[in-house]
């Protein structure tokens, strides 16, 4: 029997209708389109504005898009992994609710949180379940409603983040396609540089934490940028070396969409040509767990069977890594 590898066999996506452009942000905080574009590459981002709708709403939409396109019976899904930093609520896993709502009644489900690296770590998890031989269909969803934790008077963060969701299906492959290798890292030094102070077990919600705006994302931008540039570039270069890949062997770079300058620095270290670097940050901003699957959805028609894809991400914590995957269809 040939070795089982875990291949992506379908993708789906969802972004909200409401567009928050740089021009609109100019009326909200002291900034301008040129400043934002030059430093981040972002032109607009999508926000989920409807009252009472959270991350699960977008996750369900992305999963339904995948199910509709692939014609899969959701009852055949064995597992749903929900990669998210903004669950619907602190207790009661969002992935469990999503699985039930999409009709994946025979699946077990759980949430995975590693900030902007959540989907990348989720790919590792999904592949391991498939490679074990115990599971045949694993649905991995990356979704975040970042607008729910952003202070729209803080120009350091409100210009960066947006809302969205993407989903992929992993299935067994016997042709050697799918996930080939991974190089995942983490370092607790990042805890102070990108965080939300309140709402957890150290500092539970209170009148004071709300008044002090401690439930919003805090980011030390310069420090995070420095670590992200070196971290993403290092692991991407490492995964190429480990698999004897030259820049010509890499068909596509699928990098976390946090900042265009970080993406460019990673591509430069790898030596990958600009036309192989997939970018949609100008349309969505940083959607955290959703950036990688949104790239796959937006550029799905470009991929050919056997293409070499290098994934890279960096997130709060710090968490980061790179994955080498061969496209299967």
Cα(251)–Cα(173) distance, rounded to whole angstroms?
Answer: 20
Catalytic residue, candidates 22, 158, 173, 256: 256
Cα(326)–Cα(307) distance, rounded to whole angstroms?
Answer: 5
Catalytic residue, candidates 22, 259, 286, 308: 286
Q: Is 286 a catalytic residue?
A: yes
- Which CA distances in Å does 74 have to 6, 99, 105, 198? 19, 9, 8, 37
Catalytic residue, candidates 116, 173, 259, 308: 116
Cα(292)–Cα(210) distance, rounded to whole angstroms?
Answer: 32
DSSP string, 163-213: EEEEEEEEEEESSS-EEEEEEEEE-GGGGGTEE--SSSSSS---HHHHHTT
Asked if 116 and 258 count as a contact pair (C-beta separation under 8 A), the reply is yes
Phi-psi region of 207 (alpha: psi -120 to 50; beta: other; left: phi over 0): alpha
Q: Is 256 a catalytic residue?
A: yes
Q: Is 158 a catalytic residue?
A: no
DSSP string, 140-153: EEEEEEGGGG--TT
Annotated active-site positions, please? 116, 256, 286
């Amino acid at each position: 029997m040939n070795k089982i590898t875990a291949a992506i066999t379908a993708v789906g996506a969802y972004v909200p209708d409401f567009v928050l452009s740089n021009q609109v942000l100019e009326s909200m905080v002291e900034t301008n389109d040129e400043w934002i574009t030059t430093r981040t590459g972002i032109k607009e981002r999508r926000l989920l504005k409807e009252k009472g709708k959270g991350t699960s709403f977008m996750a369900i939409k992305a999963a339904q898009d995948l199910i509709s396109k692939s014609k899969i019976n959701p009852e055949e899904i064995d597992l749903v992994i929900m990669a998210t930093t903004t669950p619907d609520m602190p207790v009661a896993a969002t992935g469990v609710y999503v699985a039930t709502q999409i009709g994946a009644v025979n699946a077990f489900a759980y949430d995975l949180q590693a900030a902007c690296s959540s989907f990348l770590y989720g790919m590792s998890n999904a592949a391991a379940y498939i490679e074990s031989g115990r599971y045949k269909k694993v649905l991995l969803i990356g979704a975040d409603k970042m607008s729910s934790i952003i202070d729209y008077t803080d120009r350091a963060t409100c210009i960066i983040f947006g809302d969205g969701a993407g989903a992929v299906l992993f299935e067994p492959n016997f042709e050697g396609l799918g996930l080939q290798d991974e190089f995942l890292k983490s370092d607790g030094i990042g805890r102070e540089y990108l965080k939300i102070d309140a709402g957890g077990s150290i500092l539970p919600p209170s009148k004071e934490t709300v008044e002090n705006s401690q439930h919003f994302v805090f980011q030390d931008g310069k420090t995070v940028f420095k670590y992200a540039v070196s971290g993403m570039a290092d692991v991407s270069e490492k995964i190429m070396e480990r698999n004897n890949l030259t820049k010509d062997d890499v068909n596509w770079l699928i990098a976390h969409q946090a900042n265009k300058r970080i993406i460019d620095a990673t591509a430069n270290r790898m030596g990958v040509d600009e036309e192989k670097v997939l970018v949609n940050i100008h349309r969505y901003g940083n959607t955290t767990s959703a950036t990688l699957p949104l790239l796959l959805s937006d550029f799905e028609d470009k991929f050919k069977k056997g293409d070499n894809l290098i994934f890279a991400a960096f997130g709060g914590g710090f968490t980061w890594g790179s994955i080498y995957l061969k496209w299967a269809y």
